[in-house]
Amino acid sequence: MIKIKNLKVKVLDKQILNWVSLDFEVWKNYLLLWRNGSWKSSLSSFLMGNPVYEYESGEVSLEWNDLLELSPEERSKSWLFLSFQNVPEIAWIKLSEYLRTIYNISVTKPPLIPPFKGGEQEKSPLLSEEGQGGGFKWVSPFIFKRFIKKHLTELNIPEKFLDRDLNVWFSWWEKRKIEILQMKLIWPKYIILDEIDSWLDLDAFKTIANLLKELSSENNTIIIITHHFKILEYLNVDKIYVMKDWNIAREGWLELADEIIKNGFEKL
C-alpha cells in the first residue's frame, strides 16, 4: 500500500499540496480527478522523487518503507512506475540499451518490494542461477533482442525501433506503446499514469486502454491521473479521488464519476 497522511508540499515557495491524505492499495485501481491546474501531476512527480518539489510535512509510506527516505532510483526499484504526461526524448541512448538496462536491474538487483506472484519474486528465464536475485550476470544484447521480440510483436512495435534513440522522433502513440513495453519488462507493482490519454486519437487511446486492461491484475495497482472519464469504459476502477484547492475534495466510487459527468466539477 502507498499511504499518504497530511502531506504538505511546495514548489518555488508556492503551496501545491496541502494536508493531502489518501491510500492506494495493491490489487485495486484508482482514478485521480480534477481539471487542469489542480496539481494532480505534481503529486505523482513528488512520489517519484522529483527534487523540484519541497517536502514540508506529513507521512508517505510504501509498504513497510518510509518513501521519503528513498532516492528516486530506490523508488523505481521499489516497483513504482510513472508514465509521464510529456514523455521525454533522450538522444544518444539507444532504446534497446535502455530497455535492456532497466530489465537487468529489475531482475538482478534485489528490490525493496518484490513483485508478488505466489508470494515469491518471479525468476527471469534468461538468467543463470548465480544471476538471480542480486547477481551481476546481465543479459547480453544479443539474448535480450531475442527475448524482447515477443513483446514487440504483441505491441506491434517494429524491431528497427530498438536501434533508434530513446523516444526521439517517436509519435505520441509510439511513445505510449514503449511505456507499455517497459511495464511488461519490469513488472511494476504500482503504475502511475499521468494523463496517458494526452495527444492520442480515439483509435490509439482504445488500443492503449485495452493493453492496460490486460496488464491490470491482482499483482499491481494502476493509478490514473486524468480529467476525462473515457478510461472507465475499458478499465475497472475501485475508487475515485477528486482534487480541489490543493487537497482531496471528494472520494467515492463510480457513482461519483456519474455525478461529475452530469453536473461538472464546480458543483462538487
Q: Which residue has the cell 487537497?
A: 247
| Structural domain that includes position 66 | 2-263
The three grid cell numbers given for residue 173, joined into one nine-digit string: 502513440
- Residue 184 domain-assigned? yes
The per-residue pLDDT of the chain, averaged, comes to: 84
- Residue 43 domain-assigned? yes
- Residue 268 domain-assigned? no
- Residue 135 domain-assigned? yes
CATH code for position 54: 3.40.50.300
Banded model confidence at residue 12, pLDDT cuts 50, 70, 90: confident
- Residue 93 domain-assigned? yes
Residues 6+ apart with CB under 8 A from 133: 108, 110, 121, 123
As for how many domains the chain has, the answer is: 1
Cβ distance 106 to 184 under 8 Å? Answer: no
- Residue 21 domain-assigned? yes
pLDDT tens for 88-135 read 899 999 999 999 999 988 876 544 444 433 334 444 444 444 444 445
- Residue 98 domain-assigned? yes
- How many Å apart are CA 124 and CA 130, to the nearest integer? 12
Distance set, CA 188 to CA 134, 176, 200, 240 (Å) = 18, 16, 23, 21
- Residue 198 domain-assigned? yes
pLDDT tens for 138-153 read 889 999 999 999 999 9
